Chains A and B, each alone.
Chain A
């Protein structure tokens, strides 16, 4: 499985929720992030940026050394682009990367989510790939107007792309989280109802058995007195 572009410094951005009770989606995100880390090989550097308390709790257990940033309380206000772009700005300023892999759950339907990886490349890598041809080489066929050079435009676009991709990922993950929570709560309600039914039957049976035992004792005691 090729990861697309070969880079030296990978930074994995894992998106998860702050609140619990949402089923297994946070564990799948963490599992995929760890698999990506292991997959990138011994001579490449891979670090984590973790969004959300749930993934942080799981990552801290065995990948503490590789965490660069953790972000919490992201969902206190309804999600908007400004908040995510400030966050993206912080990440850009504090993190050196060749490629950013954003791991999130894409919303497919209320009961199914696809764990997805979105990649954002840094401008230097985009230049390198553009020169070596392939799909990114088609960037050269675009005309650049105005006084800006291609390198500047690439840098602006790359920052904006990161911010937009992060916003998309955060929204899709929030949707998936709500759907997962709905189905998890629904199935746990159903399980609790089933358990309640089973236990009620057992309770009734036990109650009847103990009443029968008492009756037998009373009757045999009474008949022993008579006879």
Chain B
């Protein structure tokens, strides 16, 4: 499938739209002033553990924690 227009820079770098909008939201949250900023940053905490399964066997789970941009 040939694309006529140039893809946006973030998609060419391998990011999805979700990652792009998360980074933008993080920038906006960092612009807040102090008491609101701490509250807003608590809304960004990420923690979960994900394991891929191959053929009925789970591999070692990867823990993704605390940095939203990971």
B53 and A83 form a contact (CB under 8 A): no
A148 and B5 form a contact (CB under 8 A): yes
Contact among B22, B49, B56, B58 for A82, CB-based, below 8 A: B22
B-facing residues in A67-101 (Cβ within 8 Å): 67-74, 76-78, 80-83, 85-90, 92-94
Contact among B5, B11, B48, B51 for A83, CB-based, below 8 A: B48
A160 and B51 form a contact (CB under 8 A): no
Shortest A121–chain B CB gap in Å is 16
Interface presence of B37 (CB below 8 A):
no
Contact among A70, A88, A152 for B51, CB-based, below 8 A: A70
- Asked whether A149 and B4 contact (CB < 8 A) given A86-B70, A90-B50, A155-B17, the answer is yes
Query: What are the interface flags for B1-45 relative to A under an 8 Å C-beta threshold, 1 for contact and 0 otherwise?
Result: 001110110010000111101100100000000000000001111
Interface size on A, residues (CB 8 A): 36
Nearest B residue to A88 via CB reads B18
Enumerate chain A residues within 8 angstroms of B3, measured Cβ to Cβ: 149, 151
B-facing residues in A84-143 (Cβ within 8 Å): 85-90, 92-94
- Asked whether A71 and B18 contact (CB < 8 A) given A65-B56, A152-B5, the answer is no
A93 and B47 form a contact (CB under 8 A): no
- Asked whether A82 and B68 contact (CB < 8 A) given A147-B5, A159-B17, A160-B21, the answer is yes
Enumerate chain B residues within 8 angstroms of A80, measured Cβ to Cβ: 43-45
Query: What are the interface flags for B45-65 relative to A under an 8 Å C-beta threshold, 1 for contact and 0 otherwise?
Result: 111111111011010010110
Enumerate chain A residues within 8 angstroms of B18, measured Cβ to Cβ: 85, 88-89, 92, 159-160, 163
Interface size on B, residues (CB 8 A): 33
Enumerate chain B residues within 8 angstroms of A160, measured Cβ to Cβ: 17-18, 21
Contact among A72, A93, A159 for B48, CB-based, below 8 A: A72
Nearest B residue to A162 via CB reads B18
B7 and A152 form a contact (CB under 8 A): yes
Shortest B25–chain A CB gap in Å is 8
A77 and B53 form a contact (CB under 8 A): no
- Asked whether A71 and B4 contact (CB < 8 A) given A80-B45, A86-B22, A89-B19, the answer is no
Contact among B44, B47, B50 for A76, CB-based, below 8 A: B47
Interface presence of A156 (CB below 8 A):
yes
Known: A71-B48, A89-B18. 17 other contacts (CB 8 A): A69-B50, A71-B50, A72-B50, A73-B49, A74-B47, A76-B48, A77-B46, A82-B46, A83-B68, A86-B22, A86-B48, A87-B48, A93-B16, A94-B52, A159-B16, A159-B17, A160-B17
